[in-house]
Amino acid sequence: MFDSTKMTPNLILASTSRYRAEMLTKCGLSFSQKSPEYIEQILPEEQPSKAALRLAEGKVQAVANNLGFRVNEQAASQQKSATIIVGSDQVACLNNTVLTKPGSATRAIEQLSACSGQWVNFHTGLFVLYKGGGGTETRETGYIEEFCVKFRQLTTSEIRRYVALDQPLDCAGSFKAEGLGLTLFDDMRGRDIHTLYGLPLLQLLEVLRDYGINPISSL
């Protein structure tokens, strides 16, 4: 358990995603963002949940390396307060097929057509690295959160119109749940809808409270 007499840890989000940043901001959290500079690639025959957690950890470790936590312990020891780095990644699957970022309107239309009337599973990995002030302690924790959505029976015109409006070309599964993507769904399953947006927020807040970061206490 975190010692409340110590300084509040610095919180770093290992992502440049504005959607993940907005979720933390709405919770009243003070944080900075760092680009992980990490190549996201799923390995052949890798299970979706394991891939999501591995990618989340990879982002965190990439930021930690850039900050000197791994390659230069002296640099880490100069940190007066603790640092927490948070990383998250998501793998979407239709049956046993991983849904990638479409990259084009044509591919997005194809993906959404395949998803019509089907359940899509989202495996979201959360990885948290805690580095104590002065480099005295390192703790790492990883979690997997699942969320499922069922698409409505979509018409071709609906799909084409949606892709034109929301432009989900850089989104796995070809939709933006934080945008018009919710209009495509018929049902949902999961404990935290933020997981669908790419960050298991309830789980993260629980971890942060253990490390002495509680937005309610600081407001």
Active-site residue set: 89
Q: How many CA atoms lie within 13 A of 204 on its CB side?
A: 28
CB 83 within 8 A of CB 10: yes
Q: Which of 62, 60, 119 is nearest to 87 (CA)?
A: 60
Pairwise CA distance, residues 106 & 159, whole Å: 11
- Helices 105-115 and 156-166 cross at an angle (nearest 10°) of 130
188: Cβ contacts below 8 Å, ≥ 6 apart:
147, 148, 149, 150, 196
- How many residues are there in the chain? 219
Q: Which two tokens stand for residue 123?
A: 């495996």
Q: Which two tokens stand for residue 10?
A: 């610095």
Pairwise CA distance, residues 173 & 52, whole Å: 15
